[in-house]
Structure 1
């Protein structure tokens, strides 16, 4: 049997899905909702926390809980090849279709900051070493922020190409500069994990603080040195994407197969 807060969450979810509270609108305040549902503030808080965890609403300062429009969940094929876009440069396995226009939210930023331990480890430098971090917040045109991309440049590579410390016009432009400096062709390895979002990430991606995110880390290795020249970290809301892998049969599973022997049968 559903608890009272689950019943309220179900009803609000239905009212959102039917358009009574469309994307971008603000839910009624606590006083109005507690009166309408004849429930305590604690019960209502539990119901609203559930909607936030599901990504249906997010708190906005001085407005309240705003209904989100996460857009259609996009598929990212794992094991895909890196392709080139005439204006964006290199495009890694991503949720964008060829020639789909993407936009940058705000201005690209470049700053010299201490490298966090996971990034420093992949770059092969001591944790806390100050190096350049390029940052872009991007999405398909007309949509809310889809991802944060932080590109960390190895200090030795930066010394060869000082312009890498300047904000790039396109997210892929810095890779061209690295390859032109004698490190091409770069080779990449990618790893994906999930984790809770930080407060800063939730604000920039316009998601509830309770929402988890995908973290996609790509390491670009120099052809000349065999060492990491750059590390990029993409952060994507958990409700915006799904990763898809087409499975193949190992030689031990080639068709036709012999019936498996069941233990104890």
Structure 2
């Protein structure tokens, strides 16, 4: 049997064994040398089979610890056009939050001055590498694995105008502070793309580095200067989200009966 066919056969069997509960979520599967002996296959075939299941988000290999079964991740359906919500005590909120749903932090939220990466710098209209205030959080609905890693970058000029943006508080509170110093009402533009995560993102989200992520960039624009004042970049594992949008009819696509039931179109027929 060809090596390629052999590793796929092993991957199919491992997938079946995991699905049937032989190794529950969080448990480490046998080492490569043990699986090689069990399947009477080369270690290279075992490694390729494991790589395939990692790419599917079924397994996760960690250095010096082994390969573990990942918990099944619930998928969330997010409706678009995007909508911003305003709650009196919690401030602004965006995204996949359902009314009354409790979201939790998987790491303590923190703020720090960091060199801004190129993508965020482009959207915030600052030079890459500029020291910018970053607010970071990793969140999910209560009881679920990490759903999103969010980095909010606040323009240095705005951070100087509104020092409260560096304070810890309600998730949307720093946006209130930006609006209060003369930039309100903020307007937002959202940009979405797919990409692969970097090592830090994959580690914080608990996903294989090969699993694609959906990157949602939300740019807040000042009402007074019409310039970007804040950029939030949220990274979500691609297996956790599906986006649903309602298709609206343009005036050119208005509905009309083109022919009588069971008949032919009355083209050219006088009324």
Give a deviation string over 1:218-248, Cα, whole Å, max 9, x none.
Answer: 0001112111110000001111111111112
Question: What residue number does 2:183 align with?
Answer: 183
Stretches of structure 1 that go unaligned for 5 or more consecutive residues are 260-265
Contact 2:166 2:174 in 1 (8 A): no
Residue 35 (structure 1) aligns with: 37
- The answer to whether structure 1 residue 142 and structure 2 residue 148 are counterparts is no
**Matches of 1:65 and 1:256, distance apart in 2:** 59
Scaled by the length of structure 1, what TM-score is found?
Answer: 0.91
Root-mean-square deviation (CA, aligned residues, Å) is 1.8
**Distance in 2, Cα, partners of 1:83 & 1:117:** 29
Q: Which stretch shows the higher mean deviation, 32-41 or 249-258?
A: 249-258
**Separation (CA, whole Å) in 2 of partners of 1:211 and 1:124:** 30
> TM-score, length-normalised on structure 2?
0.89
Q: Which moved more, 1:248-257 or 1:192-201?
A: 248-257
State the Cα distance separating 1:126 from its structure 2 match. 2.1
Corresponding residue SS for 1:42:
helix
Within a 5 Å distance, the mapping from 1:1-265 to structure 2 comes to 3-85=5-87, 88-92=90-94, 94-166=95-167, 168-256=168-256
Secondary structure of the 2:127 match is coil
* CA deviation map 1:35-89 (0-9, x unaligned): 1111110001110000000001111343311111142111111103211345543
Residue deviations 1:147-173, cap 9 Å, x none?
A: 11000001111111123234x233322
Q: Is contact 1:8-1:44 (8 Å) kept?
A: yes
Larger radius of gyration: 2
Helix, strand or coil at the partner of 2:7: helix
- How far apart are the structure 2 equivalents of 1:205 and 1:81? 25
